[in-house]
Amino acid sequence: MRILNYILLAVFAGLLIYATVHLPARGDADAPMHRQENVVGDPVAGAYFISNAYRDAATPNMVTVVLADYRSVDTLGEVLVVFTAGVCCFLILRRRLYD
């Protein structure tokens, strides 16, 4: 059983490595995610963010503009996850508050 575990692990690692070698190189300008248009011919959102982030929000850090302006609903969900974790710990774990 133990040997089967290791064989499964090795097979899975080989599968992952095989999938990783065919990815485009890091920082490749011709990778599909870095092009202006995707395969169908529609404009890619990332290219718009890169060329218009400073003009839209007067902020040099592009990541901040994407996180707090373009994709701010995503960040709202992120904050609500942390807040929900705090409230759940408050409801389950806190003792002797009302007795």
Partner 1 sequence: MTNPSESVIIVVVSRALARLIQLFGIYVIIHGHYSPGGGFQGGALLAAGVILLRMTEGYRESQTETSTAAAIPLASLGALIFAGTGLVTLAFGGYYMDYGAVPVPGVEEPIVRYYGILLVEFGIGLAVMTALVAIFDDMLGQAPGGDGEHAPAESTGAPPKI
Partner 2 sequence: MNWLVELVLYLLLLTTAILALSVRDLLAGAAAATAFTFTMALLFVSMGAIDVGFTEAVVGAGIVGVYFIAAVFQTSRRTRD
Residues that bind partner 1 (CB under 8 A): 55-61, 63-65, 67-69, 72-73, 75-76, 78-80, 82-83, 85-87, 89-90, 92-97
Q: Which is nearer to partner 1, 12 or 90 (CB)?
A: 90
Q: How far is the CB of 71 from partner 1 (least distance, A)?
A: 9
Which one of partner 2, partner 1, none is in contact with 27 (Cβ closer than 5 to 8 A by kind)?
Answer: partner 2
> What is the Cα Rg of the chain in Å?
23
Residue 88 Cα distances to 5, 18, 77, 80, 95, angstroms? 37, 41, 16, 12, 13
